[in-house]
Copies of this chain bind each other. A is one copy, B any other.
Amino acid sequence: MHILAFGEVMLRFTVADKMMLEQCDNLHITTVGTGVNLLSSLAHFGYDTSILTVLPDNPIGKKAAADLRKLGICDNKIIYQGKSMGSFFVELGQGARPERVTYQDRLSSSFSQMSVEDYSFEKSLAGVDIVHICGIALSLTKQTRLAALKLAKMAHEMKKIVCFDFNYRMSLNENNTHEAMKARYQEILPYVDTIFGSKRDLTDLLDYQETDEKKLYQQFCQDYQISFFAGSRRTFVDDKKYFEGFLFHHDKIYESSPKELNILDRIGSGDAFASGVITGLLEKWDFVDTLEFAIANSVLAQASMNDSPIFEKQDIFNYLDNKGTNDLIR
């Protein structure tokens, strides 16, 4: 089973020692992105993975590719062109002090500037079973938008399973408007089988009016012939934080139990959930088991440094078996 992800790869600069950027000159660099995080987790669950992206043709791009290989992601579909990568700074949080993310420019990156004509999608799709497309491509540049659409369409026609993550960030390009964004999502959705998103994506972005959650998903999945619609959310009860997930399939909503969060580094929680869901679907697990697994993967990922989860299946099962009370493994 080979999974290909399409999307932007970014450099993450984490300020050391829980300090704020203004306080500290020591950074830890990692190579991340929605596709990266998802594939890293899937690779550690035992799947073949590769990423379709554009990296700069210089030591920065080479470093990023080396990092991707280290995460278990095959780098042989990567295109080297241009000279920049998007980047962001992370200041870890503590208690009431939130983790803070500050982006540098993403529109001038090698990925954002890559012309859709320069991709060889057919070649990239050879040998691939599942394609994952990150919705951020719809918010960046015209080129990334065209590329995402073309890839989704081609993969759909080649009978690949197409997964799609809403990841709706209108502010990434100041030229984006609600109507334009909505139209782009409407254009890509017919080619998609499995979707990661939230209720708000349907109401705020796609302007659905239905307030009953189940009917809302029903209507949406029918409109675009979507097989699975899944998402995660965080809740707060008595000063404690919890994480939980749902999956809509064939007119039914499945839900995980909420699991307590003890956050070290929150970024990538949705990607960890998505890779867990994809794994459960591929392994044809019970849907609730799938959600339990996916939420557990995300809870562990949020208790770990960096975006990209590297847990193996057994790590997740251990957590589920111990209900999270185990504090030492020998």
On A, residues with C-beta under 8 Å from B are: 13, 16-30, 58-60, 62-63, 66-67, 69-72, 83-85, 87, 89, 91, 93-105, 107-109, 234, 236, 239, 241, 259-264, 266-267, 299-300, 303-306, 310, 318-319, 324-330
Please state if A87 and B104 are interface contacts (CB–CB under 8 Å).
yes
Residues of B within 8 A of A63 (CB): 21-22
Partner of A91, one of B13, B59, B66: B59
Given contacts A104-B60, A310-B20, contact A99 B328 (CB under 8 A): yes
Please state if A96 and B262 are interface contacts (CB–CB under 8 Å).
yes
Residues of B within 8 A of A239 (CB): 260
Question: Cα distance A259–B96 when bound, in Å?
Answer: 10
Please state if B267 and A17 are interface contacts (CB–CB under 8 Å).
no
Partner of A62, one of B22, B85, B109: B22
Partner of A105, one of B84, B89, B96, B241: B84
Would you mind naming 16 contact pairs between A and B with Cβ atoms under 8 Å apart? A13-B27, A17-B17, A17-B305, A19-B304, A19-B305, A19-B306, A20-B304, A22-B59, A23-B310, A93-B328, A95-B261, A96-B319, A98-B326, A100-B328, A105-B109, A266-B327
Q: Across the interface, name the chain B residue whose C-beta is closest to A89.
A: B60
Residues of B within 8 A of A21 (CB): 59-60, 62-63
Min Cβ gap A92→B in Å is: 10
Question: Cα distance A244–B108 when bound, in Å?
Answer: 39
Please state if B104 and A84 are interface contacts (CB–CB under 8 Å).
yes
19 new A-B contacts, CB < 8 A, other than A25-B25, A26-B29, are A17-B17, A19-B304, A21-B63, A23-B305, A24-B25, A26-B28, A60-B89, A66-B71, A85-B104, A87-B104, A95-B263, A96-B303, A97-B304, A97-B319, A99-B329, A105-B109, A263-B327, A266-B327, A267-B328
Question: Cα distance A26–B69 when bound, in Å?
Answer: 19
Please state if B29 and A25 are interface contacts (CB–CB under 8 Å).
yes
Residues of B within 8 A of A98 (CB): 318, 326-329
Please state if A241 and B327 are interface contacts (CB–CB under 8 Å).
yes
Please state if A102 and B58 are interface contacts (CB–CB under 8 Å).
yes
Please state if A67 and B70 are interface contacts (CB–CB under 8 Å).
yes
Min Cβ gap A321→B in Å is: 12
Question: Cα distance A84–B85 when bound, in Å?
Answer: 12
Question: Cα distance A58–B101 when bound, in Å?
Answer: 10
Question: Cα distance A324–B236 when bound, in Å?
Answer: 11
Please state if A25 and B20 are interface contacts (CB–CB under 8 Å).
no
Min Cβ gap A43→B in Å is: 10
Residues of B within 8 A of A22 (CB): 59, 62-63, 66, 70, 310
Residues of B within 8 A of A264 (CB): 18, 94-95
